[in-house]
Structure 1
Amino acid sequence: MLIERAYADLPEGMGPAGEGWPWRVPCVRQLVEEGLAFRAPVTFLVGENGSGKSTLAEALAEGFGLDSYGGSAGYKYASSREASPLGRRMRFDPTREGRAMVRAPRIRRRGFFLRAETALEALSGERASQRISRHPGEMSHGEGFLLAFRERFSQRGLYVLDEPEAALSFTSCLELIALMDELGRAGAQVICATHSPLLTALPGAEIVEVGEHGMRSVKWAELGLVDHWRRYLSEPRAYLRHVLGQ
């Protein structure tokens, strides 16, 4: 692992409650007040749309020096997009193993930020700089993701993923689980924002549930999304009758 805790400082002159987005988002308030502790090499951020999990994942990536649009540490090629207000205020308490990387110049940090909505542009940049062997335009969306996983998720560093399951089949998700486990065992650190009960089942991973309550550590079996998927797969009509009017 590289990071033990992440936290953010409020902009100078801002009151303790924060003013406007993203400072009033419950998970961001908790990040400012308490920080977010990392207890395992792989951490999942789970929550409903709008809960702030993607905002949090993006800021963690930006604070570490990963391309704010998605991509590798030390390089900016996908866009001229600047770091978010939260990303600019992010701070880290590194582990002993991660101290040299976290405190090093951006160019010496290692890792990758993969966000579903900008992955094509980021991976095109990776191909242009010869960091992956094929152009993502030559493959399906899911195949492009897997190529990045296989060829760029290969060294000790910080890997931040924002809903990677969006492009992956069931079998490909299993491949990603194996890779995340391998990275964690090799000393890397993975932070993944997801809606997937499949990914979050990785043994030994930390699961942080994000919502109106802020952030809290939960077990896989306690996740609301796991309960809903179980119920839906057991009896789809129990859910569909509410949305189809039948």
Structure 2
Amino acid sequence: MNRKPYLIEVQVAREKIDDFNEYPFDIPAIKNLSSIRFHEDVTFFVGENGAGKSTLIEAIALSLGFGPEGGTRNVQFSTHNNTSKLVDYLRLIRGYKSPDDYYFLSTESFYNVATYMEQINYIKGYGGSPHTKSHGESILAVLTKKLQGNGLYIFDEPEAALSPARQLTALAAINQLVQKNSQVIIATHSPILLAYPNAVIYQLDENGITEISYQDTPQYQITKGFLNDYKRMINILLEG
């Protein structure tokens, strides 16, 4: 029986915000945000650096009970007190069933999570200590070994440590999780991951947050344009 979606929608209590010129509400995509509905399988957030993707996905993760560094919901520690106040203004609309598994994968802070797991001697499911693997291998170990399915998973730029070939592996791993009745929410720059079929893609920019098709994303268009005529593009970039 399909139990998804576990997370239907996130709403912003805008009436409680005192100052929209204060971080993170001064970020255009956040300033104009009222609500976001999630696909039952995969939802992507895309946008330029500084557009608010990580700010938004971190706030959603914190609202779900994750610690700021990521990991399972049992991992509750922070090496830096730099989370935004957005979490205090979010309301979550959940499905009628709860997931069996939860994980928040933040590539930026995964080293800290791996260190913590090693210190408490709880590396079950990671295929051994993540510190015995490369960064990319340890990220893939989370996707292919740690996550069991029937889960709600939040990923913040998982491709950052992965080669293009490993991004293809990650794409297949995400599909395996979806086939195991999981819901996945991902912030990414990767045109490979964004190609996942039937996903909802939200673009964050100065106009707010809008749903966009895969082929209309800058990630797809820029990559396709460069690869189709890379010599001309190199000449323009290096001579211009």
TM-score (norm 1): 0.86
Q: 1:186 to 1:126 in 2, by over 3 A?
A: same
Matched, 1:20 2:11: no
Which among 111, 118, 126 is matched to residue 109 of structure 2? 118
CA distance in structure 1 between the partners assigned to 2:188 and 2:96 by the alignment: 28
Out of 7, 11, 28, which is 1:3 matched to? 7
* Greater shift in the superposed pair: 54-63 or 110-119: 110-119
Once the two structures are superposed, what CA deviation does each residue of 1:119-170 show, in whole Å capped at 9, x if it has no partner?
Answer: 1111232343233231222111111111111222213222111111111122
What amino acid does structure 1 have at the position aligned with 2:48? E
Q: Secondary structure at the match of 1:56?
A: helix
Instruction: Report deviation, 1:57.
Output: 1.0
State the Cα distance separating 1:79 from its structure 2 match: 3.4
Unaligned runs of 5+ in 1: 102-108
Are 2:239 and 1:245 equivalent residues in the alignment?
yes
Q: Deviations over 1:19-44 (max 9, x none)?
A: 3111122221233xx30011331111
Give the match for residue 53 of structure 1.
53
SS at match of 1:210: strand
Q: In the superposition, relative to structure 1, how do residues 183 and 213 fare at CA in structure 2: closer, same or farther (>3 Å)?
A: same
Residues 179-226 of structure 1 show CA distances to partners (whole Å, capped at 9, x for unaligned) of 212222322211111111100001121111111111111111111221
Aligned residue for 2:32, secondary structure, equals: helix
In the superposition, relative to structure 1, how do residues 13 and 24 fare at CA in structure 2: closer, same or farther (>3 Å)? closer
Alignment of 1:95-244 (within 5 A): 95-98=95-98, 110-127=101-118, 128-131=121-124, 132-244=126-238
**Which sits farther off after the overlay, 2-11 or 227-236?**
2-11
Gaps of 5+ in 2: none
Q: What amino acid maps onto 1:64 in structure 2?
A: L
Partner of 1:30: 32
Residue identity in the other structure for 1:129: Y
Name the CA distance, whole Å, in 2 between partners of 1:151 and 1:208: 28
Deviates more, 1:62-71 or 1:169-178: 169-178
Find the counterpart in structure 2 of residue 87 from structure 1: 87
> For 1:79 and 1:113, how far apart are their aligned partners in 2?
16
Following the alignment from structure 1 to structure 2, what is the Cα–Cα distance between the partners of residues 78 and 154?
25
Tell me, in whole angstroms, the C-alpha distance in 2 between the residues paired with 1:12 and 1:226: 37
| 8 A Cα contact 2:47 2:53, kept in partner | yes
Distance 1:209 1:50, change over 3 A: same
Residue type matched to 2:10 in 1?
A: A
1:221 & 1:22 partners in 2: Cα distance?
Answer: 29
Q: CA 1:2–1:205 in structure 2 vs 1: closer, same or farther (change >3 Å)?
A: same
Equivalenced residues, count: 233
Change (3 A) 1:147 1:199: same
Alignment TM-score, normalising by the size of structure 2: 0.88
Which letter does structure 1 place at the counterpart of 2:72?
S
